[in-house]
């Protein structure tokens, strides 16, 4: 089994508008505030205290799971989060998700057109990162059945989807992604 070769500090990748970084301890309050603001998009939508978030971060099993911060390239303000879980080094699979973007903050610095393409750009970036840096063969993701924006974005970028009773599950293989 290959060892993880992901650098666990600094910037993982950049798009034209944002950079995706490992979280720092000083980011936890901002991440908690964002998570609570958009908690209805999470499967566990209970509001978290800062103390509960700090405990969650302490238990995070990096690199098998991680939460990353999305920062504006222009001023490094945190405007969102994204992450992965269940990274299986043997089967070369992982589940990506936990995407939150604070569009109101982004609109203070970028145009509405930029805001519309931002989720697609971030998701494509994390998928490319997963296949190229993490050396995954398959990526999974899922959305709550009523999270229509998330489902539409995942379909638009070409992920294979299956609707369940409460969850919409998606996946894409490295081979399929290379053809897109």
The DSSP bridge pattern shows strands 160-163 and 167-173 to be antiparallel
Spatial contact of 62 and 83, defined as CB atoms under 8 Å apart: no
The least confident of 38-47, 79-88, 109-118, 164-173 is: 38-47
92 closest CA partner among 180, 176, 174: 174
Q: What is the pLDDT of residue 46?
A: 85
Task: Enumerate the domain spans of the chain.
Answer: 11-179
Chain position carrying tokens 């650098």: 7
**Residue 2, pLDDT score:** 46
Q: What is the mean pLDDT of residues 13-37?
A: 92
Burial of 149 (0-12, 13-18, 19+ CB in 10 A): exposed
Tally the residues of the chain: 180
How many Cα atoms occupy the beta-carbon half-sphere of 119 within 13 Å? 18
Residue-wise pLDDT for 99-154, tens only, equals 999 999 999 999 999 888 999 999 999 999 999 999 999 999 999 898 888 899 99
Burial 18-55 (b: 16+ CB within 10 A, else e): bbbbbbeeebbebbbebbbebeebbeeeeebeeeebee
Can you tell me the mean pLDDT for 63-72? Answer: 92
Residue 179's Cβ-count burial label (10 Å; 0-12, 13-18, 19+) is exposed
Mean pLDDT calculated for residue range 52-81 = 92
Q: Which residues contact 109 (CB under 8 A, 6 or more apart)?
A: 72, 74, 75, 77
Q: What is the pLDDT of residue 5?
A: 55
Per-residue model confidence as pLDDT tens digits over 27-51? 999 999 998 998 777 777 789 899 9
Would you say domain 11-179 falls under CATH 3.40.50.720? no
């Amino acid at each position: 089994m290959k060892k993880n070769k992901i650098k666990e500090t600094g910037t993982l990748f950049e798009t034209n508008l944002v950079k995706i970084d490992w979280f720092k301890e000083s980011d936890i309050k901002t991440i908690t505030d964002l998570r609570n603001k958009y908690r209805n998009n999470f499967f566990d939508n209970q509001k978290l205290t800062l103390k509960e978030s700090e405990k969650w971060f302490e238990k995070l099993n990096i690199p098998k799971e991680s939460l990353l911060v999305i920062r504006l390239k222009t001023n490094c303000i945190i405007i969102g989060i994204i992450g992965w879980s269940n990274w299986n080094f043997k089967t070369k699979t992982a589940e990506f998700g936990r995407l939150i973007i604070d569009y109101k903050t982004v609109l203070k610095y970028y145009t509405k057109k930029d805001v519309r393409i931002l989720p697609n750009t971030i998701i494509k970036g994390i998928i490319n990162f997963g296949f190229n840096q993490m050396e995954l063969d398959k990526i999974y993701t899922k959305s709550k059945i009523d999270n229509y924006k998330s489902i539409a974005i995942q379909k638009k970028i070409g992920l294979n989807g299956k609707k369940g009773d409460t969850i919409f599950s998606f996946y894409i293989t490295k081979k399929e992604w290379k053809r897109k």
